[in-house]
Amino acid sequence: MPINIEFSDRLKNLPPYLFVEIDKAKREAVAQGRDIINLGIGDPDHPTPAHIIEAMKIAVSDGANHHYAFDAGLPELRQEIALWFQNRFNVGLDANTEIYPLIGSKEGLAHLPLGIINPKDKVLLTNPAYPAYRPSIEFAGGRIIHLPLKASNGFLPDLKKVAESKDPKAIIINYPNNPTAATAPKEFYVVLVALAREKGLIIISDMAYSEVYFDGEKPLSIFEIEGAKDVAIEFHSFSKTYYMTGWRIGWACGNPKLIAALAQVKTNFDSGIFQAIQVAGIAALKSDPLVAEDMRSLYQDRRDYLINGLRALGWKIPPPKATYYVWAKIPKGFSSSMETAKTFLEKADIVVTPGNGFGEQGEGYIRMTLTVPKDRINEAVSRLQKIL
C-alpha cells in the first residue's frame, strides 16, 4: 500500500513556476490544432552559431572530456572569461579567485544564498522580478523585503528605502532588467555601492542580458564602479549572447569570498560543467564581435517592428533599451494582467506573460518577447487589431 507522501512546506509555499504554467497553456492550445504565436517565454529562435557547435562536436569526440569536470572549470575557460571581461568592461578579474563557471547563471543564483544567507536574514528583492530569485532566498531561510519597481523611477529601486532598511544582508539587482527591460545608469550603481559598503550589504547583480542592448547604449557592469569588488558578485550567461539557452553555461565573478561561498556550496551539490560544453564556451567567448552585433541588430529590428505595429493600433509602448522583452501596460478595456493574457490566448492565439507573475508590482503590465520572426510579429499585430 502506498505511503502518504507530501511535499515539503517550502515547496507548498511556492507558487507554480510561471513559465511552466504558460508552457502548459500553450501546449494545450497547440494540441487543439491552433496556430499559436508564443510571445511568452524568452527562448531565442536562432540556432547556436556554427563555430560553437563545431567546437562542441570535436570536444565530445575527445575521451578526455568524458570524466568528471573540474569544479572550478577549465583554467582556459576562466582565463578566457577574464579576457572577455577586460575587453568588454575594462575590468580586471583574477581567473583563480574571482571567476567561477556555472551550469547556467540561474543555477548559481539559486545556490549562492545557501552559502551566505542564514534563516531570517533580510534580503532586498525588486518587485517585479525574475521568478527564480524568490525560491532561492526562501529555500535558504531568508526573509524577502520587496523593493517596488515603478515606471516613475525608471523601474529602478528607490535607494532611499535601501538606506532606510534595517540590517539587510543582501540585495538582488538585475539590469538590464527582466521583465521591465530597464537599464541602470552609472549614478545608480555609484550610490548603491556606497550604501553597500556603509551598511555591510552584499550586492548580487544578475547581468544575463548584458549584451542584448540597443542603440549602442552598453549596459555597465557593477565592477566598473570603484569599490564594488568589496561588496558584490555578478552573474553572467552565455544563453542570450550566443543563442545557447539549452547548453547551460554561465559564470559568477567578483568578491573572492562570495565566489568561495558559492564554490563550496556547488562542490557539495554538483561536479561542474560537462567539459565539452566548457570547450564550446571558450569558442563562444572567442567569437567574432559580429556575432553579438548581429544578434543585437536582429532584436532591435524586431523591437521596432513590434512597437510600431502596436502603436498603429493605438497601444503606446515605450521601446526597450535592452533585453528581448517588451514590458507594456495592459491595453484600455482590460482590468488585469491575467485577463489580458487569457484573452490574447483565447481570442488571438497569442501567448504573453502576465505581469503579476513577476510579483504584485507587475500587475497592470504584460511582457512580450522578441524571439519570433518578423512575419509572426506581423501576424500577431494583425490578430490583436481584431480584439483591441
119 cis-preceded (ω within 30 degrees of 0): no
Mapping DSSP onto H, E and C, the string for the chain reads CCCCCCCCHHHHCCCCCHHHHHHHHHHHHHHCCCCCEECCCCCCCCCCCHHHHHHHHHHHCCHHHCCCCCCCCCHHHHHHHHHHHHHHHCCCCCCCCCEEEECCHHHHHHHHHHHHCCCCCEEEEEECCCCCHHHHHHHCCCEEEEEECCHHHCCCCCHHHHHHCCCEEEEEEECCCCCCCCCCCHHHHHHHHHHHHHHCCEEEEECCCCCCECCCCCCCCHHHCCCHHHCEEEEEECCCCCCCHHHCCEEEEECHHHHHHHHHHHHHHCCCCCHHHHHHHHHHHCCCHHHHHHHHHHHHHHHHHHHHHHHHCCCCCCCCCECCEEEEECCCCCCCHHHHHHHHHHHHCEECEEHHHHCHHHCCEEEEECCCCHHHHHHHHHHHHHHC
Q: Stretch 260-267: mean pLDDT, rounded?
A: 97
- pTM here? 0.96
Q: Mean per-residue pLDDT for 279-286?
A: 98
- Contact call for residues 98 and 254 (beta carbons, < 8 A): yes
The b/e string for 5-22 (b: 16+ C-beta within 10 A; e otherwise) is: eeeeeeeeeeeeebbeeb
**What confidence tier does 19 reach under pLDDT thresholds 50, 70, 90?**
low
pLDDT score for 76: 98
Mind listing the pLDDT tens digit for each residue in 314-324?
A: 999 999 999 99
Region 238-251: mean pLDDT is: 97
List, for residues 168-214, the tens digit of each pLDDT value.
999 999 999 999 999 999 999 999 999 999 999 999 999 999 999 99
Distance CA 89, CA 184 (A): 15
Please answer whether residues 283 and 247 qualify as being in contact, where contact means their C-beta atoms are separated by less than 8 angstroms.
Answer: no
Closest CA to 121 of 99, 103, 140: 140
Find out whether 277 and 249 touch, Cβ atoms under 8 Å: yes
Torsion of CA 238, 242, 244, 247, to 10 degrees: -60
Q: Rounded to whole angstroms, how far apart are CA atoms 141 and 269?
A: 18
Average pLDDT of every residue of the chain: 95
Q: For 110-166, what is each residue's pLDDT tens digit? A: 999 999 999 999 999 999 999 999 999 999 999 999 999 999 999 999 999 999 999
Q: For 36-52, what is the mean pLDDT?
A: 94
Residues 356-371, mean pLDDT to the nearest whole number: 96
| pLDDT for the residue 196 | 98
Q: Give the pLDDT band (50/70/90) at residue 215.
A: very high
**What is the mean predicted confidence (pLDDT) over 373-377?**
97
- Please identify which residue in the block is written with the cell numbers 522583452: 325
Contact 73, 100 (CB under 8 A): yes
Q: Which of 18 and 245 is assigned the larger pLDDT?
A: 245
Cα angle 305, 308, 312 (rounded to 5 degrees) comes to: 135
Q: Give the pLDDT of residue 193.
A: 98
pLDDT in tens, 221-238: 999 999 999 999 999 999
pLDDT bin (cut points 50, 70, 90) of residue 27 is confident
Which structural domains are found in the chain, ordered by start?
9-47+290-387 (3.90.1150.10), 50-285 (3.40.640.10)
Has residue 1 got a pLDDT over 80? no
User: How much is the pLDDT for 14?
Assistant: 82
pLDDT value at 28 more than 90: no
The reported pLDDT for the residue numbered 29 is 82
What percent of the chain lies above the pLDDT cut of 90? 92
